[in-house]
Amino acid sequence: MRELLEFLSLSNANVRYVVLGVMLLGASTAVVGTFTFLRKKSLVGDAVAHSVLPGICLAFIFSQVRHPLVLLSGAFISGWLSILSIDFITKQSRIKADAAIAIVLTVFFGVGIMLLSYIQSTGNAAQSGIDHFLFGQAAALVGNDVIMLAIVCAVLVVVVWLLFKEFSILSFDADYAQSLGLPVRSIEFVLSTLTVIAIAVGIQAVGVVLMAAMLITPAAAARYWTNRLSVMLLLAAMFGALSGFFGSYISYSAPKMPTGPWVIIAVTFIAFISMTFAPERGFFFKWLSKKRKVNTTMDENILKIFFHLGEKEGDALTSRKIAQLQARRYFEESKMQASLKRLCRDGKVEEDEHGWKLTKVGVIESKRIAKLHRLWEMYMSKFLKIPADHVHEGAESLEHFFTPELEEMLEQELDFPETDPHDKPIPYTKTSVS
Amino acid sequence: MSYSFWIILTGALVASSCALLGCFLVLRKMSMIGDAISHAVLPGIVIAFLISGSRSSLPMLIGAALVGVFTTFLIEFISKKAKMQNDAAIGLVFTFLFAVGIIMLTLFADKMDLDADCVLHGEILFIPLDILTTGTFVDIVPRKIWILFIVFIIVIIALRIGYKGFLITTFDPSYAVSVGISAVLWHYVLMTLVSLVTVVSFESVGAILVVAFLVVPAASAYLLTDNLVRMLLIAVGVGVLSSILGYFLAKWLDSSIPGSMTATLGILFLISFLLAPKYGLLPRKLLRKKA
């Protein structure tokens, strides 16, 4: 606990640098990565991330220093080369994109591993930091590195901000961008360059192997919450920063732990939560609204049973036992119980000593459903020429999906018929006639 | 038998099993699924390792293969049910599982002799040293080679028996469905085989470079022929050749053996990319000039 407080207070200058640095890295790669995600280039991002390794190693072999700017340039060059290679292979041969990505990824990475083993065998003391690029080790960053990385990140975010409109048109509809006369190729070039820079910078925190996740997972998570690009960018940046914070905290409290995997665990966790609980798109809410639909369908069916029984006996407000309702149309007792309770709560049904009865509101509602059923039967037989003995099934399912607007249109289209195809009267309520 | 021979044989066995399965991955446009599986089996390997205490026991193979299949299942689940675009679903799932694997490795580092280096580079150098002690002729061959050999045989038998199923579901899935061949079944059979091969190979060449052996020989062969049987044979040839040349490259440069084998694969691919008679870059350019 004390450790956490000490960490949170950021009193230690080194901790402060590392935490802020990693958060900034997380946020800015997430911003750039949002476009990677939207352009469906997630796996290209993965390939680029693996492909920066030989660049870093070569930069180190030639310069013999572990200065971030030098390594960054090496990473940048080999990252760009990998993008070009993938493009070249897919355009100039029958190899498909998936295989081209896999080939470039593994061959570049293999060469990287080769060079890495070469560096390790030379035993250069300064090389100790090089293999941190595999899984990231934020704690190894020192003040100057962080300041430099922060500047690069700030540049990334500013460029995205300036070219926001161009990037978004390109991401959503490249053909449209072309027709607007935008310089699509140049914009693509700038965007790819930003992506490579973001990756080259980001690997300091999470490492080459897991960098792809830092790029796209925040965006994938943000996508569940919004349809607006600006909000999505903001959310992605937030998720990126949050997981960066979490990762650097773990790395701080357990120095043996590489930062990268923990950042990825955090960001994937956020994605899982978004996937499940985001309103509208989330899993849980979809399931909930489906369940709600099943329930209202059931409730409407119960109301209809009341209506039918009332219609036969000429009294809509009689109390009835569940067995009586089941005799008219069978549903499991437990389901009927649950449904009656819901209707009771909504004030459409009341319970008394003889069983359950409709309230006034319930009567109106039950008439509406029966009316919809019969109107729809009428529509099917009149306009779709479906024989009267076949219309019931379709009406049975469709009656539950009518909005008031559709209801009105249906009434007007049919011009308020008196009876349905089975010669049963159509029960209009006062509200809908007026 | 010499030390070098065993290492080259290890590489050749890994390359052959991978190349055969890789042909189907490449033809089905599923190379990146292979990549995802090879990363994602890591937690399975670690858990099985913790339970069984050894690297190449049966539970380990089964456990890790199950994780591989689970990965493809999870990717499909997320892209279909949670409606995430497919490329992002692949990226999200395998990075997550790989991250979990790496963390488990770090947490239990003192409980097992398996580390992140082994995951990345493999430990092909130690394979000839691990000899069985049964006192019979079995001892002549290193333990791991037996395992790789058995898996290679399993792959061959599976492809021989399932050849028709794989063939039809790869080239014409809708026809396959119409004649009652389940595309889903063969998909999962292939995924299980890929997981199995990835798991037994990771120790020799590392979890990431397995993908090179899966995809690169198959892609090179794809440029050289239109016939599936020939493609399978050429892919195996390319794989074996790369493990021989890669070994000597590594020896010459004193560098990582799997890394060098991968680099060799890259060179072989480049050669067929440039020079393949029908689909190569240069022959096509020359043809265009003549015409």
Q: How far is B17 from chain A (nearest CA, A)?
A: 17
pLDDT value at position A271? 92
Interface membership of B290 toward A (CB under 8 Å): no
Rounded CA separation B9/B12 (Å): 5
Helix (H) or strand (E) holding A352: strand A349-352
Q: Residue A105 domain-assigned?
A: yes
- CATH number for the domain that contains residue A296: 1.10.10.10
**Same domain membership, residue A69 and residue A120:** yes
CB B67 within 8 A of CB B201: no
Rounded CA separation A4/A8 (Å): 6
| B88 with A118: Cβ contact below 8 A | no
**Token pair for residue A363?**
């009567």
Rounded CA separation B208/A333 (Å): 57
**For residue B141, pLDDT beyond 90:** no
Q: Which amino acid is at A373?
A: H
If you average pLDDT over residues B151-171, what whole number do you get? 89
Q: Residue A260 domain-assigned?
A: yes
Q: Is the pTM of this model over 0.90?
A: no
Question: What are B196-206's pLDDT values in tens digits?
Answer: 898 888 878 88
If you average pLDDT over residues B215-232, what whole number do you get? 93
Among A47, A110, A53, A107, CA closest to A76: A53
Where does a domain end: A254, A276, A298? A276
Q: How far is A282 from chain B (nearest CA, A)?
A: 7
Among the partner residues B81, B208, B259, nearest to A117 by beta-carbon distance? B259
- Mind giving me the DSSP string for B71-101? HHHHHHHHHHTS---HHHHHHHHHHHHHHHH
The residues pairing with A183 across neighbouring beta strands, listed in sequence order, are none
Q: Residue A219 domain-assigned?
A: no
What share of residues in chain A are helix, strand, coil (percent, to 5)?
A: 80, 5, 20
Rounded CA separation A116/A304 (Å): 75
If you average pLDDT over residues B194-221, what whole number do you get? 87
Interface membership of B224 toward A (CB under 8 Å): no
**Same domain membership, residue A105 and residue A184:** yes
**Same domain membership, residue A248 and residue A191:** yes
Among the partner residues B32, B82, B83, nearest to A98 by beta-carbon distance? B32
Interface membership of A61 toward B (CB under 8 Å): no
Question: Hey, which CATH number is domain B3-290, 1.10.287.1260, 3.30.43.10, 1.10.3470.10, 1.10.760.10?
Answer: 1.10.3470.10
Cβ-proximal residues to B216 (8 Å cutoff; 6+ apart), any chain: A102, A103, A106, A107, B22, B238, B242, B262, B265, B266, B268, B269
- Side-chain-side CA neighbours of residue A232 (13 Å): 20
B218, with CB counted inside 10 A (0-12, 13-18, 19+), is buried
Q: How far is B284 from chain A (nearest CA, A)?
A: 10
Cβ-proximal residues to B40 (8 Å cutoff; 6+ apart), any chain: B67, B68, B71, B93, B94, B97, B98, B101
Q: At CA A150, angle to CA A171 and CA A241, rounded to 5?
A: 65
**Same domain membership, residue A152 and residue A98:** yes
Number of Cβ atoms within 10 Å of the Cβ of B53: 11
Residue scoring higher pLDDT (B82 or B217): B217
Rounded CA separation A310/A320 (Å): 10
Q: Chain A, 170-229: which have a CB under 8 Å from a chain B CB?
A: 209-210, 212-213, 216-217, 219-220, 223
Q: Residue A197 domain-assigned?
A: yes
**Same domain membership, residue A398 and residue A352:** yes
Q: How confident is the model at residue A276 (pLDDT cuts 50, 70, 90)?
A: confident
Question: What are A7-57's pLDDT values in tens digits?
Answer: 666 667 677 777 888 888 889 999 999 999 998 888 899 999 999 999 999
**Same domain membership, residue A309 and residue A193:** no
**Same domain membership, residue A296 and residue A264:** no
Rounded CA separation B114/B107 (Å): 11
Q: Chain A, 272-301: which have a CB under 8 Å from a chain B CB?
A: 275, 281, 283
Interface membership of B27 toward A (CB under 8 Å): no
Distances (CA, A) of A374 to A179, A294, A329, A392: 51, 21, 17, 9
Interface membership of B214 toward A (CB under 8 Å): yes
Question: What are A308-324's pLDDT values in tens digits?
Answer: 888 888 777 788 888 88
Distances (CA, A) of A211 to A201, A204, B151: 10, 10, 32
Helical H runs in A163-279?
A: 164-172, 174-179, 184-206, 211-223, 229-253, 259-277
Total domain count for chain A? Answer: 2
Question: What are A232-273's pLDDT values in tens digits?
Answer: 999 999 999 999 888 888 877 777 777 888 889 999 999 999
Domain ranges of chain B: 3-290
Closest residue in chain A to residue B218, using alpha carbons only? A99
**For residue A433, pLDDT beyond 80:** no
Q: At CA B87, angle to CA A169 and CA A171, rounded to 5?
A: 5
Residues of chain A above pLDDT 70, percent = 93
Q: How far is B29 from chain A (nearest CA, A)?
A: 6
Rounded CA separation B239/B274 (Å): 18
Closest residue in chain A to residue B254, using alpha carbons only? A118
**Same domain membership, residue A359 and residue A271:** no
pLDDT value at position A64? 79
Interface membership of A132 toward B (CB under 8 Å): no
pLDDT value at position A432? 44
Q: Which chain A positions have a beta carbon within 8 Å of B223's beta carbon?
A: 93-95
Mean predicted lDDT score pLDDT of chain B? 85
**For residue A434, pLDDT beyond 70:** no
Among B49, B47, B104, CA closest to B70: B47
pLDDT value at position A175? 84
**Same domain membership, residue A27 and residue A70:** yes
| A93 with B85: Cβ contact below 8 A | no
Number of Cβ atoms within 10 Å of the Cβ of A59: 23
Residue A190: domain span: 2-213+225-276
If you average pLDDT over residues A58-87, what whole number do you get? 88
CB B221 within 8 A of CB B276: no
Q: How confident is the model at residue A149 (pLDDT cuts 50, 70, 90)?
A: confident
Q: How confident is the model at residue A128 (pLDDT cuts 50, 70, 90)?
A: low
pLDDT value at position B248? 93
CB B238 within 8 A of CB B23: no
Q: Which chain A positions have a beta carbon within 8 Å of B214's beta carbon?
A: 102
Helical H runs in B28-142?
A: 31-52, 58-80, 86-107, 116-121
What is the end-to-end Cα distance of chain B in Å, rounded?
A: 55
Residues of chain A above pLDDT 90, percent = 24
Point out the least confidently predicted range of A1-5, A211-215, B246-250.
A1-5
Q: Residue A218 domain-assigned?
A: no
If you average pLDDT over residues B52-80, what whole number do you get? 79
Cβ-proximal residues to A181 (8 Å cutoff; 6+ apart), any chain: none
Q: Residue A119 domain-assigned?
A: yes
Q: At CA A51, angle to CA A45 and CA A57, rounded to 5?
A: 145
Phi, psi angles (nearest 5°) of residue A52: -75, -15
Q: How far is B82 from chain A (nearest CA, A)?
A: 6
Among A380, A402, A397, CA closest to A389: A380
**Same domain membership, residue A306 and residue A270:** no
| A110 with B263: Cβ contact below 8 A | yes
Q: Chain B, 106-125: which have a CB under 8 Å from a chain A CB?
A: 106, 109, 116, 120-121
Q: Which amino acid is at A186?
A: S
Q: How confident is the model at residue A201 (pLDDT cuts 50, 70, 90)?
A: confident
| A111 with B90: Cβ contact below 8 A | no
